[in-house]
Structure 1
Amino acid sequence: MTRRILLSHLSLILLVLLVLEVPFGLFYARSELSRFSHAAQQGAMTLAEVCEEKTERGITGDLPDLARAYGRRTGSRVLVTDHRGVVLTDTAGLAPIGRNLSAEPDIAAALRDRPFVGRGSAPSVGGNVLLATVPGRSDAVVPCVVRTVYALSPLKARIHAVWLALGLVGVAVLAAVSLIGFALARSITRPVRALELATAQLADGRLTDPPATDHGPPELRRLAASFTATATRLQHLLREQQAFASDVSHQLRTPLTAVRLRLENFEPHLAPCAQDSLDKALGELERLGLMVQGLLALARLENSAIRPEPVDLDIVVADRAAIWTAFADEQQVGLAVSGARAVRVWAAPGALEQIIDNLLSNALRASPPGTVITLAVTDAPGQGGHTASEAELHVIDQGPGMTRAERLRAFDRFWRAAGADHDGTGLGLPMVRQLTRASGGEVTLEAAPGGGLDAVVRLRRAGSRTHRERPGTAPPRTPTTPGAVPVTAAPRTVGRSKAR
């Protein structure tokens, strides 16, 4: 912004200088040449009158001294001819006495009583010259002609000096305007940069350096004050919401656990015909607990700033697949891992594990016995033959799949497809989308070839690993139980509905 303001000022001043100085320089050059030509013509006419008088009296022997005196006084070369164009004297000695110059244009014009003033070229005097050739006239007779030749180099030197002075003045004006414009631009943009820094801090979750409200133009001061008040209010609301989520998590967990224990204590005292109702009540109670914890986890994700970090995608996929294999075997479902190795992506801390857990849990519920769930790591389709800047994680099942309308609504909170099992919360896929976006990526649902659903998670690449071996001897971590939704700073929510 500083550069644009400075360039706008300099462009305007440069335009003004060009409009003022260029016409002035051209006018000065033309006026100096015109003045010089007029003075040369007047001087030649005065000398011609004297030469005419000398010629009529027959005192032509005085003409060389007269011409040399005039040439020394005016810095010109003087040539005098008689009425036939024969040279009587030449101060430069270039034209010998007695030579006939009546064929030269300026001499011929003067012999016809027409003065001639113009520019020409004379290498003997250093380039361009000014010729002033006038007749020495007596009534209708032209007894003599006087030619004065002036070098134009001194005049050009004066004109060039004026152009140089104009250029120096323009440079000085531009330099002064640059300093003034830079100071003005800095005074305007300093509050804007402070607002930009404060906005970035607020986006990270905490405003530590609020913008000053006593610098810059009045409009920016008022903007800084309004921004500070808004940011303070937002931070207060975020703290209150986070505190509310923490309090609700603590306050709801205890009564829900107590209700569950009381219902379970009824089991020995119930008739067999009421056992089914008790099981359904416990199931609904468990689903309520999962729903509350999922909502609180989503609230924490939305209210916190998460910085992605490089994560080994293929290692995390292999690790989670090893953990979920046991659960898949219980339902007679296969679990296969394929795709690229040594793939690093940007992901929020702990987010990638939760994304895979949720997608595998949903895929396992939708997969009939005897089918296979595939976890594939591939490169995102590149453009123009260039290397892909994103990697894709595919979780593909062979279940009934979803229609296009269902896939579009699957990420809505609490939405479940018709015929979904009743113990789901409809928060699994919303959690996946929130975690993926927090990692700088995107997730979509697509129809799998041959039936089923393909959940595609696209994440930005973070470069290659130095060590490309895939660890396989490390002890597996304790798996997150399918259906459980632990509420932590990085929740590992597992959805339970077909709608995911």
Structure 2
Amino acid sequence: MTRRLVVSYLALAVLVLAALEIPLGCLYARGETSRASQSVERDASMLAEVTEENIEKGQLAALPDVVGDYATRTGGHVVVTDKQGIVLADSDPASRTGISLAAQPDIARALHNQPTVTTTTDSHGRDVLSATLPGTSGTTIRGTLRLSYPLDQVSTRVHRIWGALALAGACILAAVAVVAFSLARWITRPLRTLEAATTQLADGHLAHPPDTTTGPPELRRLATSFTHTATRLQHLLNAQQAFASEASHQLKTPLTALRLRLENFEPHLHPRAHGSLEEAVGEVERLGRMVQGLLALARLENTATTPEPVDLDAVLTDRVAMWEPLAAEQYVAIDLTGPPIGQVWAIPGALEQIIDNLLANALRVSPPSTTITLHRTTGSELHIIDQGPGMNEADRERAFDRFWRSSDSHHDGTGLGLPIVRHLVDASGGSITLHPAPGTGLDARIQLRPAPTRRSTMPPRREDPGPRRTRSRRTQATGRG
């Protein structure tokens, strides 16, 4: 922003200088040319009177001295002709006398009593200012006189003034640049500190509040308002995280005691009340799992972690080996397919929790004799596909909301598994979306960022054993949590 402000100030200064200096330079150039023209015409008029008098008196021998003396003093070129246009005297020693110039336009007009002042080019290719006047006495024309001056001196003076104007403009622009840079830095300093503060706040902690002592009053007020808002927001977030963490810790002991007391009632209850007692114990267990989920979320939100390269294929092989026995109890197979992906960016321990939560959800809804597929694709994308009842579009949009459960589910989930998964995926720099699987079921797609391979520090990757299928006894599990 500082650069743009300086450029805008300089552009405005250039426009102002151009509007002032260009007309001034042109006016000076026209004035110099006009003064030179008037001077040449005046001198030509005086010389024409002198030469006309000499021609009238027949003193033709005095003409070379008159024109030569004038040319020596002023540097001009003087040519005198008689009334027929024959050259009587020429201040240039190399020129000849006695030749006729009557055919030249300016001489012809002067012989008809018409003076001429014009700019021409001489034989040396230089621009000259020429004045041609008739030598008259009343209405009688006795000859003509041409006085020429080179415009080198006029051009030198014009170029000098243009150079002076350019130098003055450059000095003014330099001064404007210094002032503009100082002013832009002063204006943007609160914005720079505000940008740094927003970056710190986005990282979770505002260590250096924005500067509220410099800059325009509007920006100082903005920085003050931001500091107040950020402080209030940090206080609220810290209070919320502390409450979730402390409440989870404080609830664990009473819930455990409540469960034990309910179980102690069983010998003393009528058999018909045992069903209600089991339901109550189940609700206490679900509440305990919910407390554990809240505690896990609080820990995740309070812990600042940095993604690291993790071998996804090794993690997948390990988690499949761990979940196979549990899936076999429900007559469900787990397949690991697709080409190896290699290392991806993830926070430590995140991939294990992500895969465990998604496999647990898939296992709850998978009927017997079905398969849960973990499919890898190019581009570091992982699909976890089940063959359960699936979810409609509205449920898929709300599946990552905390405590949300599908309206048609009848399981004891807490509604915190998928929110934890999304938090871990986002913290790792990836993304997760839910899609309908081919046929029936749900396809959870996890897009991760590939990481460079570090052969010197990473352990060798375990070989992919290929698809795994096991069968065992069936246990009841329905719904999605």
- Length-normalised TM-score, structure 1: 0.88
Q: Tell me if structure 1 keeps the 8 A contact 2:6–2:181.
A: yes
* CA distances 1:108-162 after superposition (whole Å, capped 9, x unpaired): 11111111111111243x5211111111112222211111111111111111111
Counterpart-to-counterpart distance in 2, 1:193 and 1:369: 61
Give deviations 1:206-229, integer Å, cap 9, x for gaps: 222222322222222222222222
Whether the 8 Å contact between 1:6 and 1:182 is mirrored in structure 2 is yes
- 2:420 aligns to what? 431
1:171 aligns with 2:170: yes
- How far apart, CA to CA, are the structure 2 residues paired with 1:292 and 1:250? 8
1:64 aligns with 2:64: yes
Gapped regions of structure 2 (runs ≥ 5): 465-476
User: SS at the partner of 2:102?
Assistant: coil
- Cα shift readout 1:399-420 (whole Å, capped 9, x = no counterpart): 1212223222322333323442
Per the alignment, residue 470 of structure 2 pairs with none
Aligned position for 1:400: 389
Q: Which SS does the other structure have where 1:194 is aligned?
A: helix
Task: Provide the rounded CA distance (Å) in 2 between the counterparts of 1:11 and 1:184.
Answer: 15
Instruction: Deviation per CA, 1:26-48: give whole Å up to 9, x if none.
Output: 11111211111111111111100
Matches within 5 A, 1:67-106: 67-106=67-106
Corresponding residue to 1:459 among 427, 448, 452: 448
**SS of residue in 1 equivalent to 2:7:** helix
Equivalent position of 1:333 in the other structure: 332
Secondary structure at 1:279 match in 2: helix
Question: Relative to 1, partners in 2 of residues 1:228 and 1:136: Cα closer, same or farther, differing over 3 Å?
Answer: same
Q: What corresponds to 1:492 in structure 2?
A: none
CA contact (8 A) 2:25 2:161 kept: yes
Change (3 A) 1:497 1:160: farther
Secondary structure, aligned partner of 1:133: strand
Match of residue 357 from structure 1: 356
Structure 1 residues 4-50: Cα deviation after superposition (integer angstroms, max 9, x where no partner): 11111101101000000011111111121111111111111110000
- C-alpha distance in 2 between matches for 1:324 and 1:372: 13
Q: Offset of 1:168 from its aligned partner?
A: 0.6
Q: Which amino acid aligns with 2:344?
A: V
Q: Which amino acid aligns with 2:77?
A: R
Q: Is the CA contact 2:341–2:378 (under 8 Å) kept in the aligned structure 1?
A: no
Q: Does residue 1:9 correspond to 2:22, yes or no?
A: no
Give the AA of the match of 1:285: V
1:319-349: per-residue Cα shift (whole Å, max 9, x none)? 2222212211221211111224243333333
Correspondence 1:98-497 to 2 at 5 A? 98-124=98-124, 127-270=126-269, 272-302=271-301, 305-380=304-379, 391-466=380-455, 469-471=460-462
Structure 1 range deviating more: 270-279 or 254-263: 270-279
The answer to whether the Cα contact below 8 Å between 2:410 and 2:478 also exists between their aligned partners in 1 is yes
Output the CA distance in 2 between the equivalents of 1:222 and 1:414. 40
Helix, strand or coil: the match of 1:51?
Answer: helix
CA contact 1:205–1:304 (8 Å) conserved in 2? no
User: In structure 1, how many angstroms separate the alpha carbons of the residues matched to 2:165 and 2:280?
Assistant: 95
The C-alpha deviation readout for 1:54-87, integer Å capped at 9, x for no partner, is 0000001011010011112221111111111111
Separation in 2 of the partners of 1:193 and 1:402? 47
Size of the alignment, in residue pairs?
467
Identity %: 57
Instruction: Tell me the CA shift for residue 304 of structure 1.
Output: 5.7
Amino acid aligned to 2:39: A
Q: Which residue of 1 aligns with 2:468?
A: none
* Cα deviation, residue 465, structure 1: 4.8
Following superposition, the deviation at residue 189 of structure 1 comes to 1.3
Partner of 1:148, secondary structure, is strand
Contact 2:311 2:461 (8 Å CA) reproduced:
no
8 Å Cα contact 1:341/1:468 also seen in 2: no
Distance 1:406 1:243, change over 3 A: closer
Once the two structures are TM-superposed, the CA of residue 421 in structure 1 deviates from its matched residue by 2.7
Structure 1 distance, partners of 2:46, 2:18, is 42
Q: Is this contact kept in 2: 1:245–1:300, CA < 8 A?
A: no
CA drift of 1:351 comes to: 2.5
Question: d(CA) in 2 for partners of 1:469 and 1:342?
Answer: 14
Task: Answer whether contact 2:249 2:295 (CA < 8 A) is retained.
Answer: no
- 1:111 partner amino acid: L
The amino acid across from 1:205 in the alignment is G
- How far apart are the structure 2 equivalents of 1:428 and 1:169? 73
Tell me how far apart the structure 1 counterparts of residues 303 and 165 of structure 2 sit (CA, whole Å).
62
One-letter amino acid of the counterpart of residue 60, structure 2: T
Three-state SS of the structure 1 residue aligned to 2:451 is strand
Determine the C-alpha separation between the residues in 2 that align with 1:361 and 1:238: 31
Counterpart-to-counterpart distance in 1, 2:340 and 2:275: 49
Deviates more, 1:38-47 or 1:418-427: 418-427
CA distance in 2, matches of 1:176, 1:469: 65
Deviation at 1:468, TM superposition (A): 9.1
Distance in 2 (CA, whole Å) between partners of 1:342 and 1:123 is: 85
Counterparts of 2:478 and 2:17, CA distance in 1: 75
Alignment RMSD: 2.2
What is aligned with 2:473? none
Q: Which amino acid aligns with 1:44?
A: A
Whole-Å Cα distance in 2 between the matches of residues 136 and 289 of structure 1? 125
Residue range with higher mean Cα deviation, 464-473 or 436-445: 464-473
